[in-house]
Structure 1
Amino acid sequence: MEWTGARYTDKPAVEVRTWIDAPPERVWAVVTDVEAMPSMSDELESVEWLDGATGPAVGARFIGRSKHVALGEWATTSHVVECDPPRVFAWAVVDPDDPAAIWRFRLEPKDGGTELSQWVQMGPGRSGLSLAIDRMPEKEQKIVFVRMREFERNITVTLEHIKKLAES
């Protein structure tokens, strides 16, 4: 994948895939347990459903608290924008109409198991990264490139954790 030259307004995206030796329904149970996601992430500290929600449904909201050495600590509210069990689970960060990011899991039956992909699109709405770009506009492409590489690395680690949990 190549992000060289990408700007935030380009809505850069990255996707990572893995095959899991478990049926989609089992993988679905793991990927939709958002409150367990912090145990799979170096950045995500905690997640909790809001408004009495206890699981995924279009329109449900959850708050995530994160920490990053260069970006500090922050909390964002995410809105479930796609929920098609056991195939697609997606959420928009901050504003579903102008998201800071969109995250999506896709599950597909394959070879007796599940092909799982996790995808993220940055922007178009403002995020903490927008503040870094505002401070150093001449470094926007480098800032975006580095963040996309971090997303790719973090997604790879998350998928490894999901694979272990679903296969156990």
Structure 2
Amino acid sequence: MEWTGQVYADTPTVSARAYIDASPERLWGYVSDIHLMPELSVELQDVEWLDGATGPRVGNRFRGRSTHHALGDWETVSTIVDCEQPRRFAWAVGDPGHPMSVWRFTLHPRDTGTVLEQWAQLGPAPSGLSAAIEAMPDKEQKIVFVRLREFETGIKSNLAAMKNLAEREK
């Protein structure tokens, strides 16, 4: 990730990619399984489908419970905003029209495997990060930078874990 000096209101993004020796069809089960994410994440502790949903479909919602040493514990509701099997899976945290963040997996077939990309966007809606920015507005760029680095670390960890899971099952 390269820092571009963006602030929270600019909806900064971060992404990473990994080549995985597995087809997009096989990887789809990992990227679209919301229950796998708490097993991979340091922050996300638990998820559950809402409104009777049992799987990924645009408009389906799920609740997530998270924790962070500096931000505390919180709960959010996410809405699936893109779900094209086996190509894309994305969800917006909070109001899908004005989200706190957006997360997306994109699967690109390559040779006998897949380039799996995970992407995340902060904002534009306020989130737990907003309180820190309001308390220290002169440090907004640093606060956003640190949070994006945390996202990047989590994304790289997710990709490595999915690579390990998929390639081990081969």
TM range (shorter): over 0.9
Q: How many residue pairs align between the two structures?
A: 168
Offset at 1:5? 2.0
1:106, 1:117 within 8 Å by CA — same for their partners in 2? yes
Instruction: State how far apart, in whole Å, the 2-side matches of 1:4 and 1:97 are.
Output: 25
Instruction: State how far apart, in whole Å, the 2-side matches of 1:135 and 1:12 are.
Output: 20
State whether structure 2 residue 125 is matched by structure 1 residue 125. Answer: yes
What TM-score comes out, normalization by structure 2 length? 0.96
Specify the alignment match of 1:104 in structure 2: 104
| Secondary structure of the structure 2 residue equivalent to 1:142 | helix
What TM-score comes out, normalization by structure 1 length? 0.98
| Secondary structure of the structure 2 residue equivalent to 1:124 | coil
Q: Which runs of 5+ in 1 are unaligned?
A: none
Instruction: State how far apart, in whole Å, the 2-side matches of 1:60 and 1:103 are.
Output: 15
Offset at 1:3? 2.0
- Code of the aligned partner of 2:138: E
- Code of the aligned partner of 1:103: W
Specify the alignment match of 1:166 in structure 2: 166
Specify the alignment match of 1:93 in structure 2: 93
Offset at 1:2? 2.2
| Secondary structure of the structure 2 residue equivalent to 1:38 | helix
Specify the alignment match of 2:76 in structure 1: 76
RMSD, matched Cα: 0.8
| Secondary structure of the structure 2 residue equivalent to 1:35 | coil
What per-residue deviation string (whole Å, max 9, x for no partner) do you get for residues 116-138 of structure 1? 00000100011100111111111
Offset at 1:140? 0.4
Moved more, 133-142 or 2-11: 2-11
1:3, 1:12 within 8 Å by CA — same for their partners in 2? no
| Secondary structure of the structure 2 residue equivalent to 1:54 | coil
Offset at 1:4? 4.7
Q: Which runs of 5+ in 2 are unaligned?
A: none
Offset at 1:6? 1.6
Instruction: State how far apart, in whole Å, the 1-side matches of 2:42 and 2:50 are.
Output: 23
1:3, 1:148 within 8 Å by CA — same for their partners in 2? no
Specify the alignment match of 1:37 in structure 2: 37
Identical counterparts, % of pairs: 60
| Secondary structure of the structure 1 residue equivalent to 2:35 | helix
Instruction: State how far apart, in whole Å, the 2-side matches of 1:47 and 1:108 are.
Output: 27
1:14, 1:148 within 8 Å by CA — same for their partners in 2? yes
Instruction: State how far apart, in whole Å, the 2-side matches of 1:155 and 1:106 are.
Output: 13
Instruction: State how far apart, in whole Å, the 2-side matches of 1:142 and 1:47 are.
Output: 30
